[in-house]
Amino acid sequence: MKHNGVMTGELFLGHSVNKLTEMSGYVEACVSRLDGEQVWKGPQNSVGNLVLHLCGNVRQWIGSSIGGLVDVRQREREFAASSRMGAEELLSLLASTVGEAVTILRNLAPERLTERVSTQDGDRYVLEVIYQVVGHFQQHAGQIIYATKMMTGEDLKFYKKSS
């Protein structure tokens, strides 16, 4: 199906790439505003743990299920206190993970959107996998943004006010 000369699949893939890139930028900006203690504040679901969780999810669902990369995810480690690392290393992992996913999506033929692939939850259409990952990423990015606002007391100015 076409919309203004562009295939619907191309629109979906382009929007998915844009959302992952945008949300990754927001997460990066949040981590950059926090000190090392704030990144890992809390026994579980800290900003740092949520970033590790996002990386694990993106690598598993897009990298492995769609891109054919080896699934190396260890989900329990994403939430372990022992997984702590410096903010630079965390941001590097986020950038490389999202960059890899973006490359896979940019090179994905729209015809593959209706292909079935194996996921941790059973076989899914590629379109479903992408939709799940983008929605999941936005959900946790929102948690990270909220936590950052609470810890810094700052307006992060991600959205321009309408006049």
Cβ contact 74:105 at 8 Å: no
Q: Is residue 19 part of a domain?
A: yes
Q: What is the pLDDT of residue 82?
A: 85
Which segments within the chain are labelled E, that is strand?
Answer: 2-3, 6-7, 116-119, 122-125
Residues 55 and 76: their CA atoms lie apart, in Å, by 13
Domain that residue 114 falls in: 2-152
pTM equals 0.91
Residues 136 and 71: their CA atoms lie apart, in Å, by 18
Going from the first residue of the chain to its last (163 residues), give the mean pLDDT of each consecutive group of 10, the final group possibly shorter.
71 97 97 95 86 97 97 91 92 98 97 96 97 98 95 88 64
Classify the C-alpha dihedral 117-121-127-132 as positive or negative.
negative
Number of domains in the chain: 1
User: The CATH number of the domain where 85 resides is what?
Assistant: 1.20.120.450
Specify which residues 24 forms β-bridges with: none
Q: Is residue 8 part of a domain?
A: yes
Q: What is the pLDDT of residue 26?
A: 97
Q: What is the pLDDT of residue 163?
A: 59
Q: Is residue 162 part of a domain?
A: no
Q: Is residue 163 part of a domain?
A: no
Q: Is residue 158 part of a domain?
A: no
CB within 8 A of 14, min separation 6: which ones? none
Q: Is residue 86 part of a domain?
A: yes
Q: Is residue 159 part of a domain?
A: no
